[in-house]
Amino acid sequence: MGNVPSAVKHCLSYQQLLREHLWIGDSVAGALDPAQMADHTEVMKGIHQYPGVRYPVLTPNLQGFHRAVAAGATEISVFGAASESFSKKNINCSIEESMEKFEEVVKSARHMNIPARGYVSCTLGCPYEGNITPQKVTEVSKRLYGMGCYEISLGDTIGVGTPGSMKRMLESVMKEVPPSALAVHCHDTYGQALANILTALQMGINVVDSAVSGLGGCPYAKGASGNVATEDLIYMLNGLGLNTGVNIYKVMEAGDFICKAVNKTTNSKVAQASFNA
């Protein structure tokens, strides 16, 4: 994906429709493509912050946190992993070391009344270690929740999970963290995202992460898809009679806009079906 100009990030019209989170960017060069997120301050300052919409930013350490606050961030997130190998390769430290850093960040955030969201990667599998035990996911989730994260987003980072592994993982985590404080972040690398999300919903989870147009591939499997498309998720939730407060047509417009801007075809099936009908 080429570098998206800041002006494009400002215009992304999904700001007009979301009542929940819109993850803007991160304050570190590391986990994500540094070039893509380098203009975080400019983006934060440039966007229209709608009332009722939250704009969390990723802050892996205290330095990033302070920069985020200076740029006007009102919510932050920290990114941990349930796999030691993934933690070391992705953020260059062990799980324990990362938790210590996050404690500092979350403590500072709470001191300033800034809510903090915790993410756990590799909850259903790791590109380096393979299987990850539900117990390990629970341990990391409990730690993040205990330090003050108001919500823990459980990520199937390489999209290898299936409804069975999702269920087992959630059963374990829900023993230590209440379902109201949990979210799922399913990748669609193997086409399992919506089925996994349905399973999570059936178990009482009601916060779901997704990406407009299913933007973002998978860095571990070139050519593979990545995030679940927000449009397809909303289509399912609407069909289930669940109120999201999101206008699917406007999401589709936003998706159409960003796909044209980055010269990519949408990964959303709803968009493919609707724009060509």
How many residues in the chain?
277
Smallest distance from other proteins to CB 66, Å: 39
Smallest distance from other proteins to CB 172, Å: 15
Rounded CA separation 267/119 (Å): 24
Closer CB to other proteins, residue 135 or residue 238? Answer: 238
Rounded CA separation 264/266 (Å): 6
Which tokens is 212 given? 């407009």
Span 45-74, contacts to other proteins by CB under 8 A: none
How many residues interact with other proteins (rule CB under 8 A)? 47
Question: How big is the chain by its Cα radius of gyration, in Å?
Answer: 18
Span 155-174, contacts to other proteins by CB under 8 A: 159, 161-165, 167
HSE-CB for 265 with a 13 A CA cutoff: 9
Contact flag: residue 238 with other proteins (CB under 8 A): yes
Which among 9-17, 64-72, 111-119, 241-249 is the span making contact with other proteins, rule CB under 8 A?
A: 241-249
Q: Is 41 exposed, middle or buried (0-12, 13-18, 19+ CB in 10 A)?
A: middle
Interacting residue with other proteins among 235, 251, 258, 259 (CB under 8 A):
235
Contact flag: residue 269 with other proteins (CB under 8 A): yes
Interacting residue with other proteins among 181, 218, 246, 258 (CB under 8 A):
218
Rounded CA separation 113/268 (Å): 37
Smallest distance from other proteins to CB 64, Å: 31
Catalytic residue of the set 126, 149, 186, 218: 218
Give Cα separations from 91 to 9, 22, 94, 101, 152 (angstroms).
25, 23, 8, 11, 18
The one-letter code for the residue type at 47 is: I
Span 182-211, contacts to other proteins by CB under 8 A: 188-192, 194-195, 197-199, 201-203, 206
Catalytic annotation present for 126: no
Give catalytic residue positions: 218
